[in-house]
Amino acid sequence: MESLKNSDLEIYSYISAELERQKNVLNMIPSENYVSSAVMEACGSVLMNKYAEGYPFKRYYQGNKNVDEVEKTAIERAKKLFGAEHANVQPLSGSPANAAVFLAFLNPGDKFMGLDLACGGHLTHGSPVNFSGKIYHNIPYGVDKETGLLNMDEIREIALKEKPKMIISGLTAYPRKIDFRKFQDIAEEVGAIHVADISHVAGLVASGVYPSPLPFTDIVVTTTHKTLRGPRGGLILCKEKYAKQIDKAVFPGMQGGPHENTIAAKAVAFKEADSEDFKRYSLQVVKNAKTLSEALMNEGIKLVSDGTDNHLILIDLTFYGVGLGKEIAEALEEAGICLNANTIPYDPSTPFKPSGLRLGTPILTTRGMKEEEMKLIGKWIADVIKEHKNPELLKEVRDRVKELCGKFRFY
């Protein structure tokens, strides 16, 4: 970053400090990952300079010969990786991708179903503070209060009663498998479109270590920057019969010029994900999450649904008090472990002061950590949860975290 250093020392120094943070902290926010240098190079390339409204070989501006090849390659790779009939690689991120899907199939005020935010859904699945809940009519579904699991019979009953035009399946804080086939069947039974939002688990899906909603699901939406380990961005996959509707909704419906630099980086990430190496990575992500969840439970920590099938874990802190999530997340940050406070299903507190912690293993696994490290980290997290106001403990854990990070350099 020599040019930046010379021209803008202020921004350069913030970025350098962030690099140090990413090296020396255990980053366990399950929606984050560390991308390869190849992905970053494509993302920072001269493709950033080009306007390319339209689609490959059908553009509104001249000069898109190279860009067309880039976007065409990204589309072909996405289709191959997920086994999809059609791919749109232009969505700027996960939320705009979902907005485009709403625009494609619903009119303002139309009914749809999505997983309640408090039970593990995403803002764009119908939260009242989001466009999805403001413009459209959300009928939320939740998880079972005892088991923390989706109850497909109950979801079907709601669908039969409400007759939504669209049903969204997908998670941001649900640690178990989702029966996408059952969602599609229910949608077909009530004449709704089924949208599977696999933003969190896309990398695991591509590797075959988590159930895939393809090829049978109508529409599949994902981000490219979570377990898939690509640049920040979105992707929509669908059956050929919905291709035109989706493409029109993304452009000109929702967006203007696509970010072709990011699209190139997506293509690079799709190629990386289409490998034995990445399959091994995804398998290890899940193994690590399972080992970590066992380490936590062995220390007496309660987990929502008592474990995990994917890359994420949701800790229920109510045994230690109501609304402790933020406080304990801050103590853990002090100890060098970065995760996020999160609501748990039927949280006795508020979303601003939630009673849970959400954490995951994608970054630790990218750095090369395995079961042995997960056992250590699980113990440290449990120790901090139990004594989060003990400054000596926080310092001791921070020192050990730094030492561990030193052995697992990524950048």
Site residues for ligand PLP per CB under 6 A:
31, 93-95, 98, 122, 124, 170-172, 197, 199-200, 223
Residues in the chain: 411
Sequence-separated (6 or more) residues with CB below 8 Å from residue 228 = 33, 202, 203, 206, 222, 269, 273
Annotated catalytic residue 276: no
Q: How far is the CB of 253 from ligand PLP (least distance, A)?
A: 17
Nearer to ligand PLP, 172 or 305 (CB): 172
Annotated catalytic residue 80: no
Nearer to ligand PLP, 98 or 184 (CB): 98
Nearer to ligand PLP, 116 or 373 (CB): 116
Q: How far is the CB of 219 from ligand PLP (least distance, A)?
A: 13
* DSSP-assigned beta bridge partners for residue 54: 59
Q: How far is the CB of 11 from ligand PLP (least distance, A)?
A: 23
Q: Say if residues 401 and 380 touch (Cβ distance below 8 Å).
A: yes
The active-site residue out of 232, 370, 386, 402 is: 232
Q: How far is the CB of 304 from ligand PLP (least distance, A)?
A: 17
Nearer to ligand PLP, 171 or 394 (CB): 171
Q: In whole angstroms, what is the distance from residue 338 CA to residue 24 CA? A: 11
The answer to whether the bond into 215 is cis (omega within 30° of 0) is: yes
Q: How far is the CB of 375 from ligand PLP (least distance, A)?
A: 28
Q: How far is the CB of 299 from ligand PLP (least distance, A)?
A: 28
Annotated catalytic residue 172: no
Nearer to ligand PLP, 194 or 200 (CB): 200
Annotated catalytic residue 197: yes
Q: How far is the CB of 332 from ligand PLP (least distance, A)?
A: 21
Annotated catalytic residue 226: yes
3-class state of residue 90 by DSSP: coil
The active-site residue out of 71, 197, 272, 316 is: 197
Please name which of 264, 271, 270 lies closest in space to residue 50, comparing C-alpha atoms.
264
Sequence-separated (6 or more) residues with CB below 8 Å from residue 144 = 150, 151
Q: What angle do CA 93, 108, 170 make, to 5 degrees?
A: 40
The active-site residue out of 12, 51, 320, 346 is: 51
Q: Say if residues 192 and 167 touch (Cβ distance below 8 Å).
A: yes
Amino acid (one-letter) located at 50: K
Burial class from Cβ neighbours inside 10 Å (0-12, 13-18, 19+) for residue 2 reads exposed
CA dihedral 372, 270, 277, 362 (to 10 degrees): 0
The active-site residue out of 50, 226, 367, 398 is: 226
Nearer to ligand PLP, 95 or 261 (CB): 95
Nearer to ligand PLP, 217 or 291 (CB): 217
Q: Say if residues 331 and 394 touch (Cβ distance below 8 Å).
A: yes
3-class state of residue 315 by DSSP: strand
DSSP per residue over 141-153, as a string?
E-B-TTT--B-HH
* DSSP-assigned beta bridge partners for residue 228: none
Annotated catalytic residue 223: yes
Bridging pattern class, strands 86-88 and 312-316 = unpaired
Active site residues: 51, 53, 197, 223, 226, 232
